[in-house]
A and B are shown apart, each in its own frame.
Chain A
Amino acid sequence: MENQQELTEIIDKIHACEQEIGKAIIGQRDIVRQVMLAILADGNVLLEGVPGLGKTQLVKTISNVLSMKFSRVQFTPDLMPADVTGTNLIIKENDKNTFQFEPGPIFANIVLADEINRATPKTQSALLEAMQEKTVTVGKETYELPQPFMVLATQNPIENEGTYPLPEAQLDRFLFKLNVDFPTKEELKAIMDVTITNRTVELSAVMGGDEIIKMRTMIKDMPIADAVMDYALSIVVATHSELSEAPEVAKKYITAGASPRAAQAMIKTAKARALMEGRFNVAFEDIDFVAYPALRHRIISNFDALSEGISNDDIIREILEGIQPV
């Protein structure tokens, strides 16, 4: 019964978080929700959108509301891995020179890797261990990152010159890839009201890192029906064009399908979404909701899709339409 009370409180806190974030972030409700899902599901997020859409603002707001340590790294071509992870400095102590590890900006709860595709692959890969293992290895030492830890990276889809597209292995480490769209006219007006006036938004911390960790543990116990699980797995399997049961759209446009991490991401985040919706079970609609952000960066479309202007979201939509949950 105690757990039931805790669960109810958690749901309330999540809703309070969303409301608090909504004060500073105008519109982008789905993006906010999906970032929250990634946080609750212990995942990293890649935000893609043109500059000025409030990506950095969103990450900052979330860190404020969640009362967690936030750091930002602006990725540039000359950024070195040590600039991210930290390095060993020679420190003179008691007339002796010793090496002392100086943690880099990655040692925070929420790390904003701004314009991640501008850094060289070497620097990008410095994030790999941190994102997956939640550790950083410098020299012979491995350092634990603070918990909860997540990377929120941004990239600009239109400026390709001087950029280094993220390799598939690294993309797969991101739980979600979110496309930040341009706001509507009404939302834009509201943004103007907040940003070009003297009005300031006071944000209060709703919960802390410990509560996030507790939520993550509890969410793992969220029940999911076999039929719902089958549905999620069917979607992932349907992205593999090499399988005989793959739908026509996959065979036509997909070169490589989603990895098992995609299935894990979908189910984990669907559980979180169910809780955010005030339910204690995962529904088909939860799977549908998380399918786009969980799959769009994990499937590699071919030239036919590119030439016909078929996006990964279009492919996912068609796959979802082709699978009947009941």
Chain B
Amino acid sequence: MRLQALDDFIKKKIQEARRRITMVLLADYLLLGLTVGMGAAALIMVITLFVPVYYAPILAAASVVLGLITGFVITLVKRPDMRRSALLLDSRGFSERVITAYERAGKEDAFSMLLKQDTKEKMTGFRAKNAFPMKPVAKRLAVFCILAVVLCVSGLIDSPARKQARQNHAIAMEAKKEAEKLKDALEKIEKQEELSAQEQEELKELFEEAKKEFKEAQSSEELEKAKERLAKKIEQEMKELLAEDKKDTARALLDMAMEMNPDLSEEEKKQISEALNELSELSEDVKDALEQAKKDGLESLSEEELAELSAKLAEAAAKLTDEELAAALSKAASAMSAEDLESALAALSDAQGDMIAAALDGDGTMSLAGLGSGTGNGQGAGAGNGGSGQGTGAGSGTGAGDSSGGGWYNGGSQGSQSQETYEGDYVSVPENYQDNDNLTGTPTDGDSYIQEGGPSVTWDGIRMDYQKVIRDYQKRAYERMESGKYPVDYQDAIREYFENLNK
């Protein structure tokens, strides 16, 4: 009974000391962790007075928290066990009585009993609080206070670098938001069944490139430029898609463009969308008639037929809620009634172009002139010329024509083609594609382009779209810059060059 009481007394005292030692260690290591964390935080805050880092306060707070956590973890690791606590207790003047008595727990021999009794006597009146006082190291405390002051002062200064950091962050956030929109649009586009795998891949590349540019944007100007570039590319893609009668994808792109246009209000977006829907529906109604007119020429239409077509357009215009569209259609109807198919088509195309431009650029300042006026000119020239001829040798000439069918919606693309002038080496082939001794080469069904030019026929080479060529060049140049093939000093100049080209 006496043995048990002695053992319990010693164990209790060791536990008491252990708790106290743990508390002291905790306070000590927390202060140490806090001091180190604050040191790091102060360093971060001082550095960010000169270097723009938006997340500096968060980093500073994280370092302080990390310091505290580290202090806590170290305390847990270094928390003494009972034996260690007994030894530490002994170091307070008990001459290893406690550890020896603890190790002799349950032993009842003479030495053990005398030792335990002696230990109990020595420990009577022992207070762990007095033996292990919670006194912070003065030097550490002083360092802590100094760092706290430095941290507070450096945190309150609003330096130019901090302003810059905030601006950069705002840009980065915007870029991220835009990139998210691109991602959503890409998901929608991937669902478009009308696109071939290659077309989807091209769109993906376009978007990926745009996302990269957004991420790399260092200023709001650069971000704006990147957005502009994307708008141009989208415009180009839309033209191509419309030319290929892939209206769903074009619409998806347009929706995305509208979504990304910060200048458009929700109301405006809705209006544009509705107008485009109306226009789209209208196009289905009059498409066939216009197609026929375009195919046969206005001369083939009787006056009744022209009047009927004009009436259809006027009727459609009357149904439209969008004033601008209605005006455009009215103009088209008038032109039709005046037997001016060219102007009618131009007016229709203008209407759609305006809508797209409005979607891409809130104030409608983005030029999509090619989509409208180009259509008119191209169609005119194409319809006016024609015929066939046969000649010998190579020559140069101005060709204009409408080689592919399609409605008003692909007029832009045709217009831009029609304005191109081809000069240089190319061969002419007769319209009937028969073998000709005067010509070299063979006409193909691929990318070959057959151009008729008065008495002679020409066959030019593979034609590629200007924007696509530039885009490919730009992509290749950027890839080479990334792989370090171009000197760093020239990279800005290269970027600037392409940016200027895209303007």
Q: Shortest Cβ distance from A91 into chain B, in angstroms?
A: 50
Given the contacts A4-B114, A7-B111, A280-B114, A225 and B95 also touching, CB distance less than 8 Å: no
A8: chain B residues at CB < 8 Å are 114
Cβ-closest chain B residue relative to A280: B115
CB–CB B110/A283 < 8 A: no
What separation, in Å, do the CA atoms of A214 and B22 have in the docked complex?
45
Are A225 and B99 neighbours in the complex by a CB distance under 8 Å? Answer: yes
Which residues of chain B (58-115) have a CB below 8 Å from chain A?
83, 87-88, 90-91, 95-97, 99-101, 103-104, 107, 109-115
Q: Which of A194-246 contact B (CB under 8 A)?
A: 221-228
Are B100 and A326 in contact (CB-based, < 8 A)? no
Interface size class of A (residues with CB under 8 A): 20 to 34
By the criterion CB–CB under 8 Å, are A227 and B95 in contact?
Answer: no
A223 and B112 in contact, given A283-B96, A326-B88, A326-B91 (Cβ under 8 angstroms): yes
Does B496 interact with chain A (Cβ within 8 Å)? no
- B96:A222 contact, CB within 8 angstroms: no
Verify if A279 is at the interface (C-beta below 8 Å from B).
Answer: yes
A282-B118 contact in complex given A4-B113, A223-B103, A326-B88, C-beta closer than 8 Å: no
Question: How many chain B residues touch A (Cβ–Cβ < 8 Å)?
Answer: 22
Does A281 sit at the interface, judged by CB under 8 A?
yes
Q: How far is the CB of B283 from chain A (nearest CB, A)?
A: 91
A281:B110 contact, CB within 8 angstroms: no
**Most A C-beta atoms less than 10 A away, residue of B83, B90, B111:** B111
Beta-carbon contact of B99 and A227 below 8 Å: yes
Give the dominant DSSP class at B's interface. helix
A283:B95 contact, CB within 8 angstroms: yes
Asked, given contacts A281-B101, A326-B87, whether A225 binds B96 with beta carbons under 8 Å apart, the answer is: yes
Residues of A within 8 A of B100 (CB): 223-225, 228, 281-282
Is there a chain B Cβ closer than 8 Å to A285's Cβ? Answer: yes
Interface flag for A94 (CB, 8 Å): no
Closest to A5 in B: B110
The 8 A CB mask of B294-327 against A (1 = contact, 0 = none) is 0000000000000000000000000000000000
| A7-B111, A221-B109 given; A279·B99 CB < 8 A | no
Contacts of B114 in A (CB 8 A): 4, 7-8, 280
Q: Tell me, yes or no, whether A101 is within 8 Å of chain B by CB.
A: no
Please measure, in the bound complex, the distance between the C-alpha atom of A6 and the C-alpha atom of B109, giving whole angstroms.
Answer: 13
Task: Across the interface, name the chain A residue whose C-beta is closest to B110.
Answer: A3
Q: Determine the chain A residues whose CB is within 8 A of the CB of B109 once the complex forms.
A: 3, 221
Report chain B residues within 8 Å CB of A223: 100, 103-104, 107, 111-112, 115
Could you show 24 A-B contacts with beta carbons less than 8 Å apart? A4-B114, A6-B110, A7-B114, A8-B114, A221-B109, A221-B110, A223-B107, A226-B103, A227-B83, A227-B96, A227-B99, A228-B96, A228-B99, A279-B95, A281-B101, A281-B111, A282-B100, A283-B90, A283-B96, A283-B97, A284-B95, A285-B95, A326-B90, A326-B91
Name A's B-contacting residues (CB within 8 A). 3-4, 6-8, 221-228, 279-285, 325-326
Q: A225-B96, A281-B115, A284-B96 given. 5 additional CB < 8 A pairs?
A: A222-B111, A223-B112, A281-B111, A283-B90, A326-B88
